[in-house]
Structure 1
Amino acid sequence: MRYLPLTPADRAEMLGVIGADSVDALFADVPPEARLPGPVPGLPHHASEMAVERHMAALAAQNLAAGAAPFFLGAGAYRHHIPASVDHLIQRGEFLTAYTPYQPEIAQGTLQVLFEFQTQVARLFGTDVANASMYDGSTACWEAVAMAGRVTRRSKAVLCGGLHPHYVATIETMARFTGDQIDSRVPTLSAEPDEAGLIAAIDAATACVVVQYPDVLGRVPDLAKIAAAAQAQGALLIAVVTEPVALGLIEAPGKLGADIVVGEGQSLSVGLQFGGPYLGLFGCREKFVRQMPGRLCGQTVDADGRRGFVLTLSTREQHIRREKATSNICTNSGLCALAFSIHMTLLGGDGLARLARINHARAQQTAAALAGVAGVEVLNHAYVNEFTVILPRDAREVVRELADYGVLGGVSLGRLYPRQPELSNALLVTATETTTDQDIHALAAILGEVLANAHEGSPT
């Protein structure tokens, strides 16, 4: 039995108030080709619970799980070891069932967790302050662009060619509704990012320059040089970190002059999870804090002098007038933030540095093995745990053939940039502490076989 709480008269009255002719008019912004004229084709109208379970299990069995094969995927979502203690702690009832602290004075445990999380992110990013997390890295990136516009009262954002295309797409989607001008580019297959070209695009109308660190090809840009060029024009530098483990090995963006630092916290105990939920990280200079989106938890003392925590800043549209809000972010991925914070606590600063060195060593070992495969060229001069190789043919085909052998061999740039044929032979390879000697040997051996078979089968 369908549950329809509204009568036709109720719906007509609501449509009349908002000035819409029909419910369909509410979907005018959805392209017609993306709409379904009726039920999803091929699906039965009803099925038993057991039949649905059996069907879904059969579909799931077609997946190749990350832990069941040599795994070299990255590009913004990384496989790292998650300590058993993390899952044990986040599943405690007081954490698992907690929600947004709308009455913060009686949610001291939640506020303390968020306060500690903020401290860890600020230290990791090298920023003065950090907020209590956001949805994910891409939306945090857009929020940083919007914040830069409020700070500078400008509306142009210059995006580096090495910014992940999904982040670029998020920014461009939101900018359609705000009128911001987005100056974006695509990466070139060079060992070093095009910093001179990026700096040349900065002018007096620029609100911010957005630079991924390390970038989508695994290269490490010179943030200090870009920061100086941006700030000379009155613009802000936004640094984007999709792999926070890398910051155990390279300098924190805030220490290099970044005004706002955002990123994705998935690497540290959130897990791949088929793409989400993930965890947005956000830090900035203290002087910009009132323009920072999301929430900020602070420490204080109560009337008896005892340590306590408060919701210091919450400039969301749920709390203040919509036109005064800095964001409409309505959740802070609190459980993911807790997992991140527990993992960071277990590691400590020295542990994070050791983890990053292990990642780098595994990546070096992988790069050396691939460089020994006929027809393969390693692009990068410098990297942390992710680098790009150039193959003699389309990397998308190679990735599919590797998967047929049970190896998840990397992310093809042709998949990320389908309209850029000059990138089609590039493959982004990631190695972490979960990568074994056997994994590396399997990737190199099978890649060599796949490339050799293609060469033998080609016309002479």
Structure 2
Amino acid sequence: MRYLPLTADDRAAMLGIIGATSVDDLFVDVPAEARLSGPIVGLPLHANELAVERHMTRLASQNLSAGSAPFFLGAGAYRHHIPASVDHLIQRGEFLTAYTPYQPEIAQGTLQVLFEFQTQVARLLGTDIANASMYDGSTACWEAILMAGRITRKSRAVLSGGLHPHYAQVVKTMARFTGDTIDARLPELSAEADDAAVIAAIDADTSCVVVQYPDILGRIPDLAAIAAAAQAKGALLIAVVTEPVALGLIEAPGNLGADIVVGEGQSLGVGLQFGGPYLGLFGCREKFVRQMPGRLCGQTVDAEGKRGFVLTLSTREQHIRREKATSNICTNSGLCALAFSIHMTLLGGEGLARLAKVNHARAQAMVARLAKVPGVSCLNTTYFNEVTLLLPQDAREVVRVLADRGVLGGVSLGRLYPGVEGLANGLLVTATETVTDEDIETFATELAGVLA
């Protein structure tokens, strides 16, 4: 029996209060061509469980999974080795929840884990404080822009051309409902990041500058110079980190002057998982703590002097602030945060640094070999584990043919920036510790064959 708690009168009353004439009015932002007017053509209305299982298995067999082929994809989602102990521990009964309890004060273990997670993230990002995680990197980026607007009382955000285009699109989508002005630019195929162009775009009305580090093309921007320029105009620098393993080798953004640092924590402890769930990281200067979205867990002592953990700050819509909350998309992906924290604990500071060095060494080996392929050159002069290759033809077709040959050979810039002139021949490739010399040689050989 279907659970339909609302009567027709209930729905009519709700629609009247919000000023809508019908339920269809709630979907006006969905393009008409994307809506279904009836059942999907060609899809049977019903089938038995065994038939569905077999059909789905046949469809799944057409996929080329990350672990079954040389894998050079990145662009914000990275394949790293996850120790078996991570999955073992997060599946313990006391941990196995995808969410934080609504009454966390009675769950001291959960609060302690989040407190330690916050400590790790703050140290990793180089910030005074960090919250108890967010939904993912892209929405954390938007929340940082909102936060900057509250702090500076300005509403113009400058997005570097090196910001991931999906992050930029999330920002533009959300800004439609807030009235914020988004000055977003496209990347240029230059060896160095577009720091000068970003600095030139800052004016007296700018609330923040958003810079990815390393950027979408794998380059390392000069955060210190951008931070100084932004702060001279009364703006904040928001640094975005999509590959946190890089911070084991390059300087933390907070140490370079970033006021707010956000990122995607997927690389540590969280698998690719078909695109989610992922883990948003968020840190900032302590003086901005009252404007920070999400939750903050703190350490204290109880009436008997014993150490305890509490929910220190929680300005989110599901708690006391309601419509005055700083955020309504600051979901804490608790299980992903736990996986991140366990992986970080297993690595430790020295282990993270070693992992980062291995990643960079793998990328160097990849660049050296691929640069020998006729017609291929490397755009970057600086990089961590991801670089942009320039090919003699459209990279989208190259990627498709490589996949047919059993190699997942990167992400084409034409896919990330469809229709943008001058970027179609760019190919973003990544090498983590999971890439072997054999993988690199296979990639180079197949790429040479495709380009011949």
TM-score computed with the length of structure 1 as normaliser = 0.96
Alpha-carbon distance between aligned partners in 2 of 1:98 and 1:436, rounded to the nearest angstrom: 33
- Gapped runs of 5+ residues in structure 1? 453-460
State the match for 2:366 in structure 1. 366
* CA contact 2:133–2:333 (8 Å) conserved in 1: yes
Deviations 1:120-140 (A, max 9, x none): 000000000000000000000
User: Does 1:404 find its partner at 2:387?
Assistant: no
**Where do 1:167-206 residues align within 5 Å?**
167-206=167-206
Residues 26-425 of structure 1 correspond to what in structure 2 (within 5 A)? 26-97=26-97, 99-329=99-329, 331-425=331-425
* 8 Å CA contact retained: 1:101, 1:111: no
The AA in structure 2 aligned to 1:156 is R
Deviation at 1:58, TM superposition (A): 1.1
2:139 touches 2:329 (CA, 8 Å); kept in 1? no
Contact 2:189–2:423 (CA under 8 A) maintained in structure 1 = yes
- In 2, the alpha carbon distance for the partners of 1:6 and 1:323 equals 24
Moved more, 419-428 or 38-47: 38-47
For structure 2, list consecutive stretches of 5 or more residues without a partner in the other structure. Answer: none
- Equivalent pairs counted in the alignment come to 452
| Alignment-mate amino acid for residue 244 of structure 1 | P
Q: Deviations over 1:74-96 (max 9, x none)?
A: 00000000100000000000000
What amino acid does structure 1 have at the position aligned with 2:154?
R
* Matched residue, 1:437: 437
Q: CA deviation at 1:5?
A: 4.1
Maintained 8 Å contact 2:99/2:332: no
Deviations along 1:38-85, one digit per CA (max 9) or x if unpaired, are 222222111111111111111111111100000000000000001000
Structural mapping, 1:7-22, within 5 Å: 7-22=7-22
Rounded Cα–Cα distance in structure 2 between residues aligned with 1:133 and 1:222: 26
Look up the match of 1:457.
none
SS at match of 1:93: coil
Q: Distance in 2 between matches of 1:140 and 1:64?
A: 31
Give the letter aligned to residue 426 of structure 2. Answer: A
* 8 Å contact kept, 2:370–2:376: yes
Q: Deviations over 1:306-363 (max 9, x none)?
A: 0100000000012123342100135200000000000000000000000000000000
SS at match of 1:383: coil
3-state SS of 2:308 partner: strand
Describe the superposition over 1:136-190 as per-residue Cα deviations: whole angstroms up to 9, x where unpaired: 0000000000000000000000000000000000000000000000001011001
Q: Which range moves more in the overlay, 48-57 or 160-169?
A: 48-57
Query: Alignment partner of 2:133: what SS?
Result: coil
Cα distance in 1 for partners of 2:378, 2:425 equals: 12
User: Equivalent residue of 1:209, what SS?
Assistant: strand
SS in 2 for 1:105: helix
Q: Contact 1:104–1:311 at 8 Å: present in 2 too?
A: yes
Q: Deviations over 1:393-429 (max 9, x none)?
A: 0000100011111000000000000021200000001
Cα distance change on mapping 1:257 and 1:114 into 2, 3 Å: same
Q: Which moved more, 1:359-368 or 1:329-338?
A: 329-338
Per the alignment, in what secondary structure is the counterpart of residue 177 of structure 2? helix
Moved more, 2-11 or 314-323: 2-11
Counterpart of 1:179 in structure 2: which amino acid?
Answer: G
Q: 1:19 offset after TM fit, Å?
A: 3.4
Q: 3-state SS of the aligned residue for 1:183? A: strand
Output the TM-score relative to the length of structure 2: 0.98
